[in-house]
Structure 1
Amino acid sequence: MVKTVILFVVGLVLICLGGDRLVDAAVAIAKKLGIPQIVVGATVVSLGTTLPEILVSTTAAFDGSAAIAAGNAFGSIICNTALIAGLTQTIRPSKQVELSALSWRSAFYFIVIILLTACGFITGAFGRPVGIVLLILFIVYACINVVRAPAESSAGEEDKDTADGISIPLQLVILIVCAVFLFVGANLLVDNGILIAEAVGVPQRVIAVTFIALGTSLPELMTSVMSLIKGYGNVGLGNVIGANLLNMLLVIGIPSAIAGIPLERSTVVVDMPLSCLVMAVLLVPILVRKKASRLQGITLLGIYGIYCVASFL
């Protein structure tokens, strides 16, 4: 047990260090290229912080642990949105959000989650065809990001004046190193959290939607908190949105394409609809009012609290 605690602390330290420097590097790149913070958060940062979910779900698919693969993805979406975005919006609601960057990503998210929910209700599983479609949609998502980059970059040109002396190659190296720190740290926390949970007899799905989902979402949590502390709240918001998209397109897409994922009923009737609801609570008011409010954050935190209690009961 002493070894478990030590490894847990090491993982926490790695996540803190990685999250702190990753935010600085991401903001530096945004300033140098004249790209809005929310765009960098939704692309480069979200890809780095979603690596733990991708590894856990892919490994679970090879091991035949379907509840882990599906529960981790949707549990992470709920955790990212209800806990992480809820916490940051409660502390400091987002202002001056770049709507052109937010609107199409929001539409993309809701289209994918609605299709997945319908598929889950009808078939009770994500077969290989679904996985292949999700991977194709990831390619489409990546292409849209590339095509829209010039227009979204022009919205952030005001930051270029403060970007003198920033080296893009250096910042990219820092991003990669920090992503590795987050990856290793999250896995240390998850592995030891699972050992503790299994020792006290917690069911597999509950482990997936709580311990593993929270553990693999720690990079997003640390990145969002550091973004908030440093005054770059839109990086954290973009990170949550981008990470949620990648959770569906890659974290579910890769295991589904490899072996298919049979779904538990609780995943279909609770986790998937809730993944849609919490994102609606977060995004719809921002799209309408062009800013967030503390009421949204408090509502999301309340939803997450109820969800965790209900999962254990």
Structure 2
Amino acid sequence: MIKTIILFIVGLILICLGGDRLVDAAVAIAKKMGIPQIVVGATIVSIGTTLPEVLVSTTAAFDGSAAIATGNAFGSIICNTSLIAGLTQTIRPSKKIGAASIRWRSIFFFAVLLAMNIYAYLTEQFNRPAGIVLLLLFAVYAYLNIRRAGAEGEGAEEGAAEENVVVWKQLLILVVCAGLLYVGANLLVDNGILIAEALGVPERVIAVTFIALGTSLPEFVTSVVSIIKGYGNVGLGNIIGANILNMLLVIGIPAAIAGIPVEQSTIRVDMPLAFCVMAVLLIPILIRKKSSRIQGILLLAIYVAYCAVSFAG
């Protein structure tokens, strides 16, 4: 048990260090290239912070733990949105958000999630063809980010560009920090699973709580550090981008490799709830171009209720 606690603490330290430097590097790149913080958060940062989910779900699929693969993906979306975004928006609501940067990503997210929910309801699985389609959609999403980067850059945040920033060095820092985030999250997840199994917690509950929270810690640390450093839009963009990648990659990769069945509880509870919490977060922002503390409090209440119901069930 002492070893487990030590490894847990080491994982937490690695995540905190990686998240801190990752935010600095991402903001430096945004200022240097004149790109809005929310765009960098939804692309470069979200890819780095989503690596734990991708690797955990792929490994779980190979090990035959399908409930972990699907539960981790949609549990992470719920955790990212209701807990992490809920907490950050309660502490410091986002202001002056570029609606254009969020609008098309929101439409993309809701359309893909709705299609996935219908497909899972009809087939009770994400088979290889479905996984391949999700990976193709990732290619489309990446292309749209590249194509629209210039137009979205016109609304970049005020402030002079960082003249002394060397982009390739900052990208290298991002890669190293993403590695630290992965190693740290992996230590936390492994030890969290051991604790949960010792308490007799079911596999799906482990996936949507312990594993989802553990693999979402990079997003959590990144979002909190962004607020502390005054770059709140990086954290918001990271949440949106990470949620999209959770569907396209965290489900897409293991599905394309081996195909994964989907539990009824995921179809009837986790996927619809993921849709609802993202609607609570994004719709007011699209209308008002800013968030409110009420949204954050509501999202936190939803997450508490979700965890309580998951454990009670």
In structure 2, the residue corresponding to 1:163 is in which secondary structure? coil
Q: Report the equivalent of 2:168.
A: 169
Q: Report the equivalent of 1:210.
A: 209
Q: Kindly provide the amino acid, as one letter, of the partner of residue 152 in structure 1.
A: E
Q: Cα distance 1:157–1:263, how it changes in 2: closer, same or farther (>3 A)? A: closer
Q: Kindly provide the amino acid, as one letter, of the partner of residue 282 in structure 2.
A: L
In structure 2, the residue corresponding to 1:147 is in which secondary structure? helix
**TM-score of the pair, normalised by structure 1:** 0.99
Q: Report the equivalent of 2:304.
A: 305
Identical amino acids, percent of aligned pairs: 71
Q: Render the CA deviation track for 1:222-248: whole Å, top value 9, x for unaligned.
A: 000000000100000000000000000
Kept after mapping to 2: 8 A contact 1:42/1:239 = yes
1:287 lines up with 2:268 in the alignment: no
Counterpart-to-counterpart distance in 2, 1:306 and 1:63: 31
1:254 lines up with 2:221 in the alignment: no
Kept after mapping to 1: 8 A contact 2:37/2:157 = no
Kept after mapping to 1: 8 A contact 2:33/2:161 = no
Deviation, 1:74, is 0.2
Deviation, 1:177, is 0.9
Q: Render the CA deviation track for 1:155-202: whole Å, top value 9, x for unaligned.
A: 21743x241211111111111111111000000000000011101111
Query: Structure 1 runs of 4+ off > 6 angstroms?
Result: none
Q: Report the equivalent of 2:59.
A: 59
Kept after mapping to 2: 8 A contact 1:34/1:158 = no
Q: Report the equivalent of 2:44.
A: 44
Q: Kindly provide the amino acid, as one letter, of the partner of residue 97 in structure 1.
A: I
Q: Report the equivalent of 2:86.
A: 86
Q: Report the equivalent of 2:185.
A: 186
Counterpart-to-counterpart distance in 2, 1:225 and 1:14: 15
**Greater Cα shift, 114-123 or 8-17:** 114-123
In structure 2, the residue corresponding to 1:217 is in which secondary structure? helix
- Output aligned runs, 1:1-313, within 5 Å: 1-156=1-156, 158-159=158-159, 161-313=160-312
Counterpart-to-counterpart distance in 1, 2:132 and 2:172: 31
Deviation, 1:22, is 0.5
Counterpart-to-counterpart distance in 2, 1:226 and 1:65: 33
Kept after mapping to 1: 8 A contact 2:34/2:161 = no
Counterpart-to-counterpart distance in 2, 1:44 and 1:142: 11
Q: Kindly provide the amino acid, as one letter, of the partner of residue 84 in structure 1.
A: I
In structure 2, the residue corresponding to 1:166 is in which secondary structure? coil
Counterpart-to-counterpart distance in 2, 1:49 and 1:185: 11
Q: Render the CA deviation track for 1:46-75: whole Å, top value 9, x for unaligned.
A: 000000000000001111110000000000
Unaligned runs of 5+ in 1: none
Aligned pairs, number: 312
**Greater Cα shift, 112-121 or 34-43:** 112-121
Counterpart-to-counterpart distance in 1, 2:280 and 2:28: 30
Counterpart-to-counterpart distance in 2, 1:275 and 1:128: 23
Kept after mapping to 2: 8 A contact 1:84/1:224 = yes
**TM-score of the pair, normalised by structure 2:** 0.99
Q: Kindly provide the amino acid, as one letter, of the partner of residue 238 in structure 2.
A: N
Kept after mapping to 1: 8 A contact 2:26/2:40 = yes
Counterpart-to-counterpart distance in 2, 1:31 and 1:179: 20
In structure 2, the residue corresponding to 1:50 is in which secondary structure? helix
Unaligned runs of 5+ in 2: none
Q: Kindly provide the amino acid, as one letter, of the partner of residue 269 in structure 1.
A: R
